[in-house]
Structures are given as structure tokens and as C-alpha cells.
Amino acid sequence: MSTRPSMIGRFGLYAFLLVTAAFFAIPLLIVFLTALKDSDEARAASIFLLPGSPDFEAFRVAWLEACIGRECSGISGRFWNSVIITVLSTSISLLLASINGFALAMWDLRRGGLVLGLLLIGAFVPYQVMIYPLVRIFALGGMHQTLTAIVVVHVLFGLPILTLIFRNFYVGLPPELIKAGRVDGAGFFQIYRFIVMPMSLNVAIVAGIISVTGVWNDYLLGLIFAGPSWQPMTVSVASLSATASSGVPEHNVNMAATLLTALPPLLLYLVSGRYFVRGVTSGAVKG
Amino acid sequence: MKLRPRTVASLALVPTILLTVIGYYVSILWTVGLSFTPSRILPVARWAGFDMYERLFQTERWHVAYTNLYIFGGLYIGFCLVIGLGLAIALDQSVRGRSFFQTIFLYPVALSFIVTGLAWRWLLNPTTGLQDFVRGLGFESFTLDLLSSPDRAIFTLVIAGVWHSAGLTMVILFAGLQSIDQEIWQASRVDCIPRWRMYWHVVLPMLWPVVVTCLVLLGMQVVRSYDLVVVLTGGGPGYSTDVPAKFIVDHYFERQNVGLASAAATLLLLTVVALFVLVSILRRKGAAT
């Protein structure tokens, strides 16, 4: 901007950007190309060759017929498992986190800082330190490997960052909002519902993106807490590629399944643009 | 009776408080407690002192896993910071197509480590992958047999991990660069200071808090790295690419060794605490200069 950069410097700059862009773009392109091939071509020909007769057959097989363990009905069922887990976890987390954020930001509660601190410290503890007791607790309640269990752990581990995002947003709102509501005789939940909630759309989108990508992309929690009947897509895709190598490897189907798993967060990323960037950076802003 | 709204606000926090106290803190204490018992498949309440820790330190696989945490962590964080900073500075030079480049650099962050691992395992497979491609170019003896080499398989984790997360570092550092006062550039033009010296001596120190933030975020990914290892290398060949996160899960749920796994989990927790002390020192150091 300041000094006029030389032509060579400019050229080097764009060369650097293009080479790195290729490094980032190529793996996904290769996955896509492989998914368009038939199984012989995917097995024998170089991954960089374009498919001879590209079609979406591998996607159909992955969706409806691919074998996970002994069951050969594709990953479509797991896709809907993931959808249900993600929708439930995200809506419960957002509701709880926004109420928390509102209570912590605007009501000057005694020990409010302590509650937030307890929540945030927990966010830095690796899951591995907590999973086994959680399994025992769910087993005691007869809920081991149920939909309830997987949704509760997702809410539990999502709450710190989501609460922080809502709190940081509400701290910036004028306190007069509450005072006005109080004068009119409104209670906590009325002020939340009719004054605060309608102003929260933007921050809810950011928090929602974090929650959806986090829950959808999770593997460990799904593996341990969801069980076979609620197995999410990430878990089945990971084991799908393991089983396919036992017989004739069908790399094209594996790659199609991989791509189908990647698609929802990828579309969310492309559609939401700036919100996504705010989402991933908001974790970085100091609370 | 009508409750005061402020009391309702406190009560609204109760579900979260219960969830956190039980979910986090009771669980953590429970795990630490289990690490002092000889529990196998099911937890038993018999005191075993530091037996499990002694056994852990005699376990070769744990040493490999714990060392890998630092090898993988150091390389992953280092490359993410260098590439992320390079890209952030490059994009800060008012380049054309900035949002296009940013979209490409950042999209892997939206993907799971499962997808990342599957994609890179496919790219690195020796028969039709990158190795075959380079040989096809005429380098017949070229070998990129990273996945089957116990010494080098860890680098596949680094490559795939950096591919996944460098964009995140870029976007955070870029936001930091944008927030820096543009007047310093006018000042540097008056004093005829070259741009690169400005970046090295002025901008980078100003970015220090943002760099520390990146360190924390990337560090958390390292400690949690389980998915990528499972999919890309399975911890192998042998257990050469094992990491503590995988060691713990395996010993809890496959090897039925709850006491040993709890001891390993407790050590992982202590490691995180130690790293946090380190980070707060780094923060203060940045604030002091």
C-alpha cells in the first residue's frame, strides 16, 4: 500500500498464494474425482487422472447399498441420525446458552463470574478425562448409548463457548433495555423473550454455525455415547473404509461417502461466509 | 408469590450449573480417583496408591504416545503458525481475489478430522497416490511411503493436520493485522523503512497476543487429536503414531484397563494445566514488552 511494490515482488506474492491454494484445494478435488470413477478405475489408475466416464453411481451405492459391518443399506440412515443429533443438540444448546449469556451479562449476579469461570475452565479439559465417568453416569440412569446420552454430552461440551459468545454480545447491549422492561413490570423470561431474543439473530447465527459444525464433525462422542442405533455419519464413514478393504476395495464408494459426510458443513461454510469467519474467530476473542 | 426477576435470573443458571458441576468436575475427580485403583473392566474402590502410574511409566506404548504429543504438537503448531502468518501477510498486501483465496484456505476448517484423514490417506496411498504420480513424471525411484514407515508416519499426521488448521490460524492472524493502526505504514514510509522490517520489528510484536491465542486453540486440537490418528494411521504401524488421547480411549473401552487409562487421563490433564501456566507466562511476557 505504502511503497509501490516491485513487479517481481508482486509476482512472487501471487505465485505463493496460488501454490498454497493448490495445496488446499487438491485433496478435496481428488476425493471428488475418485468418487466419479468406477471401482476398477479408482483402484488401478492414478488418482490424478480424470475419470473416463464420470457418473454418480458411487454416490448412489454409498447412500443406499454400502456395507457398514454386516449391514448393507448405505449411509443414508446414519445421515439422518447425524441430522437429528445435530438439530436437537444445537437447538437445546442455543436456547440454554442464550439464557445463560443473558443472565450472566445483564443482571449483575453475585458469583456470576464464578459460574462463567467454572464453565470456561471445563472447556479446556480434554474429553478423555471425563468420558469414562460420563459413561458410568449414563449407565446408572439406564441411558447408555441412547439419543438422550449423545445429545446431553454435545450440549454439555458445547455450552462453554456458546455461552461466552452470547454473553459477550449481551454485555454490549444498553442496560436501559432491561430497566425499561422492569418499569413495565416484565419478568426475566418476558424480557428475554420479547426484548432480547429478537435482537439476537446475528449472534445466534454465529453460535449456530459453531454448534452445527462441531456436532456434525464430532467422532469421539458419537463413537462412545451414541451406540449402534444412533451412530452418526462420521463414525460409520470411518468404519466403512475399514470394511471395504476386506473384500474388493471400492475406493470410489468410500470417497463418495466421505464427500457426503463433508457436504453439510461445507455448504454451510460456503453459504454463511462472513458469519463462519466470525464464528471461528469468536473463539479467539478474549472473553 | 412472585419472584424478583433477578432471582429468576439466578435460577435460570441452575440447569447449567448442575450440568457443569456433574459433567465436568465430578467426572474429573472420579477419573483422578480411579487412577489410584486397580480397576480393570469395572471400577473397583480399592486403593492401589501409585501402582497404575508405575505400570504406565513401564509401558513402552505410553512413552511413544506421550512423546508423539510433543513431536506432532510442535510441528503442527509451528507449521500452522508459519503458513498462517505467511498467508495472512500475503492477503494483507491488497491482493486481487482476496475473498476467493480466503475461501480456499479456510474451507478445510469446516471439515471434520475424519474427512481430512480419509482424504489424505487416499492421497498418500502408495499404489495410485502421490508416489505413483511423481514416479509417472519420471522419478522412478521416488518413494513417499510415509504411512507404512514407523519413523515417518507421524509426518502424515502433521501434513493432514496443517492442511486442516492453517486456514484457521490465517483468518485469526489476518483479523489481528487488520486491527493494527494503518498510520504505522505512513510513518514507515516517511522513515523509508522496508516493509519486511516493519513486519518483523513492529507488526509481529503487536500481534503477539493474537499469536498466543492461536497457540491455545492449536494446542487444544493437539491434546484432543484422536479422530485424525484413528482414521489416518490407526496409531500404527505398530503403535508408532499413538497419541495419549487414543491410548486412553483404547485402554478404557477396548483393553478394559480402567485404572491405567485413568492414570493416563490424569497425566494428560496435568499436561494441559502445565501448558496453561506456560501460556499465561507467555501472555504476561507479551504484555510486559
The tens digit of pLDDT for each residue in A67-125 reads: 777 777 788 889 999 999 999 999 999 999 999 999 998 888 888 889 999 898 888 89
Rounded CA separation A266/A277 (Å): 13
Q: Which residues pair with A71 in a beta bridge?
A: A68
Q: Is B224:B8 a contact under the CB 8 Å cutoff?
A: no
The answer to whether residue B169 neighbours chain A at the CB level (below 8 Å) is: no
Q: How far is B104 from chain A (nearest CA, A)?
A: 6
Ordered by start, the domain boundaries in chain B are: 60-288
Using pLDDT thresholds of 50, 70 and 90, give the confidence band for residue B289: low
Nearest by Cα to A93 from A173, A169, A153, A167: A153
Per-residue pLDDT, B1: 57
Q: Position A65: which residue type?
A: E
pLDDT at residue B49 tops 50: yes
Q: How far is A27 from chain B (nearest CA, A)?
A: 6
Ordered by start, the domain boundaries in chain A are: 7-64, 77-282
The reply to whether residue B252 touches residue A283, judged by beta carbons under 8 angstroms, is no
Per-residue pLDDT, A287: 32
Per-residue pLDDT, A3: 47
What is the tens place of the pLDDT at every residue in A18-63?
999 999 999 999 999 888 887 777 777 777 777 877 888 888 888 8
Q: How many CB atoms lie within 10 A of CB B152?
A: 14
Q: How far is B281 from chain A (nearest CA, A)?
A: 16
Nearest-by-CA chain B residue for A239: B231
Rounded CA separation B228/B207 (Å): 30
Q: Which residues pair with A68 in a beta bridge?
A: A71
Per-residue pLDDT, A190: 86
The reply to whether residue A187 touches residue B8, judged by beta carbons under 8 angstroms, is yes
Rounded CA separation B267/B247 (Å): 12
The answer to whether residue A266 neighbours chain B at the CB level (below 8 Å) is: yes
Q: Which of B25-39, B101-115, B119-133 has the lowest mean pLDDT?
A: B119-133
The answer to whether residue A17 neighbours chain B at the CB level (below 8 Å) is: yes
CA angle, corner B232, sides to A219 and A123, nearest 5?
Answer: 35
Nearest by CB to residue B231, choosing from A13, A218, A238, is: A238
Instruction: Return the C-alpha cell found at B45.
Output: 474402590
Q: How many CB atoms lie within 10 A of CB A4?
A: 8
CA angle, corner B253, sides to A148 and B148, nearest 5?
Answer: 120
Q: Position A165: which residue type?
A: I
pLDDT at residue B245 tops 90: yes
The answer to whether residue A127 neighbours chain B at the CB level (below 8 Å) is: yes
For residues B195 and A268, which has the higher predicted lDDT (pLDDT)? A268
The reply to whether residue B113 touches residue A217, judged by beta carbons under 8 angstroms, is yes
Residue to test with chain B: of A2, A167, A216, A275, most B Cβ within 10 A = A2
CA angle, corner B134, sides to B128 and B135, nearest 5?
Answer: 80
Highest mean pLDDT among A206-215, A231-240, B201-210: A206-215
Rounded CA separation A152/A136 (Å): 14
Residues in chain B: 289
Nearest by Cα to A35 from A265, A194, A251, A263: A251
The position carrying cell 443482571 is A107
What is the tens place of the pLDDT at every residue in B161-177?
999 999 999 999 998 88
Rounded CA separation A187/B283 (Å): 42
Topology classification of domain B60-288: MetI-like fold (1.10.3720)
Rounded to an integer, the average pLDDT of B229-250 is 90
pLDDT at residue A285 tops 70: no
- Pairs of residues, one from chain A and one from chain B, whose beta carbons lie less than 8 Å apart: 266
Nearest-by-CA chain A residue for B83: A20
The answer to whether residue B108 neighbours chain A at the CB level (below 8 Å) is: yes
Nearest by Cα to B223 from A125, A225, A284: A125
Per-residue pLDDT, B92: 86
The answer to whether residue B159 neighbours chain A at the CB level (below 8 Å) is: no
In B266-285, the residues whose Cβ lies within 8 Å of chain A are 266, 268-269, 272, 276
ipTM field: 0.89
Q: CA end-to-end span of chain B, whole Å?
A: 57
Topology classification of domain A77-282: MetI-like fold (1.10.3720)
The answer to whether residue B106 neighbours chain A at the CB level (below 8 Å) is: yes
Percent of chain B with pLDDT over 90: 44
What is the tens place of the pLDDT at every residue in A226-278?
988 899 999 988 887 655 545 667 888 888 899 999 999 999 999 988 888 88
Beta-carbon contacts of residue B186 (< 8 Å; ≥ 6 apart) = A2
The reply to whether residue B261 touches residue A103, judged by beta carbons under 8 angstroms, is no
Rounded CA separation B136/B140 (Å): 7
Highest mean pLDDT among A177-186, B36-45, B75-84, B205-214: B75-84
pLDDT at residue A199 tops 50: yes
Beta-carbon contacts of residue B172 (< 8 Å; ≥ 6 apart) = A280, A281, A284, B84, B210, B213, B214, B217
Residue to test with chain A: of B85, B102, B112, B183, most A Cβ within 10 A = B112
